[in-house]
Structure 1
Amino acid sequence: MRRRFVIEAVMIATYGHLLIPSRPIDYVVPYSSILELYDMRDGAEPVMDDPEDDAHVKGKIGELITFFEDPLNRKKIERSMQVPWRESSPLILNDRIHFTIVHAVDNAHYGEYFDPIETELLLTSSKLQIPLLSDQFEFQDKLLEARVPVQVYDIEDFEFAVEEGISITDTSQFGDS
């Protein structure tokens, strides 16, 4: 069974281990985070602190953009952009990794507490009832503080999330204490 996770596109380029999972994965990506890839690749601001790492990640961002711009993938993405919250057909990277692009729409559900990309990630996770992967501690803290009803895994816990994970029924035992 393929595990599904909501994730920002740049994290896939940044964390190489996400491309070699132990089980089949479907990364669900809000379309707006794909658009961010272009800004990161072409912008003067570094993505990583170390210049060598920055060049490597920008190269990976370029590869990911090329994948999304493939004519077949582009067609699947464009079809999903016709209706809010529509999911694309799977974009197949290899036998273990598929991408699903979602035409997420930021409806300011969480006000100004979360930025637009964060809001789209949260709403996608909530709407599709699938966990979110993040590397941003501040974002994870805000999720807990705001009691947003989504399951989030830190990127460092990726293998645990893939292999075991925590089901919704497991989390219900913790209650609202």
Structure 2
Amino acid sequence: MRRRFVIEAVMVATYGHLLVPGRPIDFVVPYSSICELYDMRDGVEPVMDDPDDDAHVKSKIGELITFFEEPLNRKKIEKALQMPWRESSALLLNDDIQFTIVHAVDNAHYGDYFDPIETELLLSGMKLNVPLLSDQFEFQDKLLEAEVPVQVYDIEDFEFAVEEGIVIEEIDTLRDI
């Protein structure tokens, strides 16, 4: 069974270890996060501080864009974009990695506290009951402060999340202690 995680597309390009998981993974990616890849690839602002790392990550972003633009993948994405909250059919990268693109729709419920991409990530996680992967400590802290009912893993805990994870029922049990 594939483990599912909601994630920003750029994190898949930035963190290479995400593409060599210990078991099959389905990365659920809000479509707006794919659109953001074009700005990152073509923008003058660096994605990474080190120039060599920046060139490498921008190259990986380009590869990811090429993957999403392949005719079959593009067709699956376009079909998902026909209705809010529709998920695409699986976009297969390899035997272990697949992407599901979701046409997430920002709403005002969390819009004042989170930016639009963050809002779409957390709403996707809530709506699909899928944990988030993030490397942004501020975002993770805001999720806790706002008591958003979504599970989040730091990107550094990816292997743990894939192999063991935490079941929501376990969290509820810990709250009762």
How does the TM-score come out when normalised to structure 2? 0.98
Q: 1:176, CA displacement in angstroms?
A: 7.8
1:6-155 correspondence runs (5 A): 6-155=6-155
Give 1:88 shift: 0.1
RMSD: 1.0
Structure 1 unmatched runs, 5+:
none
- Runs of 4+ off more than 4 Å: none
Alignment of 1:147-166 (within 5 A): 147-166=147-166
Matched residue type, 1:160: F
TM-score (norm 1): 0.98
Counterpart amino acid of 1:77?
A: I
SS at match of 1:165: coil
- State percent identity of aligned pairs: 81
The amino acid across from 1:136 in the alignment is Q
Q: Give, in angstroms, the shift of residue 112 of structure 1.
A: 1.3
Cα distance in 2 for partners of 1:174, 1:145 equals 18
Q: Which runs of 5+ in 2 are unaligned?
A: none
In structure 2, distance between residues paired with 1:130 and 1:175: 20
